[in-house]
Structure 1
Amino acid sequence: MTLLAHDDTSSRVAAIIVTYNSAPTLPGLLASLDAATAPVRAIIVDNGSADETLTVAAREPRALTIATGANLGYSGGINVGRRYVRDGEHIAILNPDLTVEPGALERLLQAIDADPAVGIAVPQLRGLDHDGRFDSLRREPSVTRALGDSIFGNRWRERPSWLAETLRADRDYGRSHDVAWAGGAALLISAGCDRRVGEWDSATYFLYSEETDYARRARDAGYSVRYVPEAIARHEGSGSGQPAPLVALISVNRIRYFERLHGPTRTALFRGAVAVQHLLRPHDPRHRHSLPIVLNRARWRTLPAGDPEPATLSVHSASASIHGES
């Protein structure tokens, strides 16, 4: 077994797992880490779950569990977990609703070890109960790519790259290559990249687009994002089950990200291109809900946002329960 005790100094990887009502899926992820071929420590950051997540986490005594007592968002949870990563450890960011196949983490480690320019290594994502592939690789957002994705979605999968932010062609997933960014369900970040890039932007991105922002900052620091198809993680994903407020938040955070890098004219065009996605799908109540929010900036403040971080975090390990000042 290679899931190590939280105080084991032999680990090369610290796996940060941000949980929120994740009791049904967390055991599967922890079991898959036990079957990993790379030595890894698990750091579970719970964002105020109302279910039995903390009870489930306590059943794995080797994991270090931090109960924030609040919903800090994905970036906020990652930032809390980073405080417990040791110098020299690479960081795996893992959604609690996925599993990693044996050898996956080792192959991601090999990509980082083989090329110091690789700051982020990402696996191929497949379904938990089927072998279908998730289209998880992305290009940098642009006005025409946003418009192409809004109009065509998953249709015309072989369309030109300037009309698609998401990579959908089979050839893009059968070979190792660098991408602009990838979905944040499973990432391995090198220790050097983590040290150079620093904290995730939890002030701007409660949920969604945080991985887009982090990957851009990594690229600006001279690192690449490397896709490793031989490393496979299986992801449950949310698909069409996302509630309307989160669908709206996805679009708004895409605009927030783009706005940070571009002037008002191009941002207005990008915002319009994103709105087209919702305009063309009036049969879906989630899109009917999202369209007026995207178009009315004053309504952005109504979207889900992170809670303030408590002054004290509850940290639980195999040997003790301690309350540490954050």
Structure 2
Amino acid sequence: MTASEKHALGEAAVERQSGHRVGVASPTATMTVSLAPEGELADCVVVIVAYNSAKEIGGLLDSLPAAADGLRLRVIVVDNDSADNTAEVVAARPWATHVPSGGNLGYSGGINVGRRTAGPTRAIAVLNPDLRLEPGSLRRLADAAQAPGAGAAVPRMLDGTGGFFPSLRREPTVLRALGDALLGGKWPSRPGVLSEMVWSRGSYERAGEVDWATGAAIVITAEADAQVGPWDDERFFLYSEETDYCRRLRQAGFAIHYIPEATARHEGGGSGAGPALVALSTISRLRYFRKYHGRFATALFVTALGFSELLRVRRPGNRRAMLALLSRRSRATLPGMSARP
């Protein structure tokens, strides 16, 4: 860390305690962040779970001031034992707090560390490090989450080039798993009973309630967070944790609102890539379904998952997923799975 960065850290600490707005020089802009002093009520606490995220996280952090549009924030970066310079990137934005988790706890585990660190707040925003939020988006989500009957809000997601990204989902069923296995992205206008994915572009143009959405960005009210409790970090190291959490939100009587006027660009790659992660996604889907359904329904769901992997078996990730479905020993070699039942 340079001398100027250390000096900025010292000044920011004083301003954070006094609740003042902190101006920070970044590589891209001079930004003003409205900070909630420690122990005082924040409008929103931003929780970002990082793992070797140095290349992505700076862009997200730099997008937050404009996205917050005056909300009083606390920004917590939970670092899951990164081996790169994630800590230094965060330190260059002294209005963000770097919290080492003590190991790679997975996405759910990291979120739970952030929740415990949050302090008093009206809402918690859970964000992937590879996002960029458009101006005003965080405020719109925080406002929408507080609407009567709501408990959470999710944004319109764009891909890294600003193009359409299908981020909305329906509750997983055997029939939907079979439909997606057979059709994938073909016939996007097919009935909702045949796809977990919401493919129709028209659905993304209007606000409304959704079953769940990709967990890259979600704002949850403090009331909903307190009632639903921790994310399930015992079953879900990575993937399907948002499916589970949103189901629990709905079961507790809270709606998840989709807000197309709030926009986030998903650069991708924040969780890495490769056959092992493709397989982990499939196994996490199985774990989710098994949590809420009996043996017979789960056996049908496993069959649908296996059929999907078989149709795509030429791809290394799908071959690895098929092996993981068939072999517990193979499943145990996936990231974060060795200590999980």
Mark yes or no: TM-score above 0.5: yes
1:106-137 per-residue CA deviation (whole Å, 9 max, x = no partner) reads 1112212332x211100000123x22121111
Alpha-carbon deviation of 1:240? 12
Q: Which residue of 1 aligns with 2:203?
A: 172
2:55 alignment partner, SS class:
coil
Q: Which residue of 2 aligns with 1:126?
A: 158
1:16 alignment partner, SS class:
strand
Alpha-carbon deviation of 1:9? 3.4
- Contact 1:140–1:181 (CA<8 Å) still a contact in 2? yes
Structure 1, unpaired ranges of 5+: 309-326
In structure 2, C-alpha distance between the alignment counterparts of 1:240 and 1:17, rounded to whole Å = 13
Residue in structure 2 matching 1:220, options 251, 276, 279 = 251
Q: Which residue of 2 aligns with 1:185?
A: 216
* Structure 2 CA distance for partners of 1:256 and 1:210, relative to 1, 3 Å: same
Identity between Structure 1 and Structure 2 (%): 48
Q: Which residue of 1 aligns with 2:120?
A: 87
Residue in structure 2 matching 1:47, options 80, 83, 88 = 80
Alpha-carbon deviation of 1:283? 2.1
5 Å-filtered alignment, 1:248-267, equals 248-267=279-298
- Contact 1:3–1:33 (CA<8 Å) still a contact in 2? no
Letter in 1 for 2:204: Y
Letter in 1 for 2:74: R
1:25 alignment partner, SS class:
helix
Alpha-carbon deviation of 1:89? 2.8
2:218 alignment partner, SS class:
strand
Q: Which residue of 1 aligns with 2:8?
A: none
1:34-74 per-residue CA deviation (whole Å, 9 max, x = no partner) reads 22203322100000001110111111111111112310000
In structure 2, C-alpha distance between the alignment counterparts of 1:202 and 1:222, rounded to whole Å = 22
Whether 2:174 is the aligned partner of 1:143: answer: yes
Alpha-carbon deviation of 1:2? 2.9
* Structure 2 CA distance for partners of 1:5 and 1:172, relative to 1, 3 Å: same
1:201 alignment partner, SS class:
coil
* Structure 2 CA distance for partners of 1:218 and 1:198, relative to 1, 3 Å: same
Structure 1 stretch displaced more, 206-215 or 274-283? 274-283
5 Å-filtered alignment, 1:156-171, equals 156-171=187-202
In structure 2, C-alpha distance between the alignment counterparts of 1:103 and 1:30, rounded to whole Å = 14
Letter in 1 for 2:151: G
Whether 2:310 is the aligned partner of 1:279: answer: yes
Aligned residues: 306
Structure 1 stretch displaced more, 291-300 or 183-192? 291-300
1:253-294 per-residue CA deviation (whole Å, 9 max, x = no partner) reads 111111111111110110110111210112211111211211
TM-score computed with the length of structure 1 as normaliser: 0.89
Alpha-carbon deviation of 1:10? 5.9
Q: Which residue of 1 aligns with 2:11?
A: none
- Contact 2:42–2:120 (CA<8 Å) still a contact in 1? no
1:173-210 per-residue CA deviation (whole Å, 9 max, x = no partner) reads 01011111111000000110000001001011000010
In structure 2, C-alpha distance between the alignment counterparts of 1:80 and 1:306, rounded to whole Å = 19
Alpha-carbon deviation of 1:212? 0.5
TM-score computed with the length of structure 2 as normaliser: 0.86
Alpha-carbon deviation of 1:7? 2.9
Alpha-carbon deviation of 1:306? 6.8
In structure 2, C-alpha distance between the alignment counterparts of 1:39 and 1:232, rounded to whole Å = 20
